[in-house]
Amino acid sequence: MIKKRDIQRSLQTLDRRYNAATLDIADTIYYSKLAVLEYCGWIEHCMDQIVERSIKGKLKTDKFKRKFQKEIVGRTYGFMYDKHFLPMVIRTVGIVEAERLERLLEADGSYQVLEAQLNQMKKYRDKAAHTWSDLSGAVFPAPSMLLGNLDAAYPIFTKLYSFACRI
């Protein structure tokens, strides 16, 4: 089940702290940076959950359950649709089901929304992951913006999860 409540609470907490830190610009940057990392971690976790749900109860032996966790989920580091998520789906349920999934997303414009959001978040995540306390010139979205992104992404991830349940 894709959960929104925990990431929403986390982003709301960071947003309150971000807004309370108006006297210290470094604090606002830190809260924004942490919000980016939290949100991107949630996206990656959702993708793992979707793929895991698609084969729930279908693998019968511990050997193949471990193989799935180690070689498919465990070797995927990232949250880009074409580079990370789609290959996991293809390796897990096959290219025919992956195509059905993508067509479902394209039918209502979800694919374009998701792709645009993931591309933008990757830029922020990469910058957040490759900066340290010298944040001069670092710009990250406010946690409130990520709450808006969450509202747009959550229905898409629940749609993907529902699809995985029906496979």
pLDDT at 26: 82
CA distance 52 to 50: 5
Q: What are phi and psi of 146, to 5 degrees?
A: -70, -30
Q: Is the pLDDT of residue 23 over 90?
A: no
Return contacts of 136-143, CB within 8 angstroms, 24+ apart: 138/29, 138/33, 140/29, 140/32, 140/33, 140/35, 140/36, 141/32, 141/35, 141/36, 142/15, 142/18, 142/28, 142/32, 142/35, 143/11, 143/12, 143/14, 143/15, 143/18, 143/31, 143/32, 143/35
Q: Is the pLDDT of residue 66 over 90?
A: yes
Q: Is the pLDDT of residue 138 over 80?
A: no
Coil vs helix vs strand at 136: coil
Per-residue pLDDT tens for 100-131?
A: 999 999 999 999 999 999 999 999 999 988 87
pLDDT at 135: 64
Q: What average pLDDT does the segment 71-81 reach?
A: 91
pLDDT at 130: 83
Q: How confident is the model at residue 155 (pLDDT cuts 50, 70, 90)?
A: very high
Domain ranges of the chain: 5-166
Residue 80 burial class via C-beta count within 10 angstroms: exposed 0-12, middle 13-18, buried 19 and up = middle
- Could you tell me how far CA 110 lies from the centroid of its own chain? 14
Q: Is the pLDDT of residue 36 over 80?
A: yes
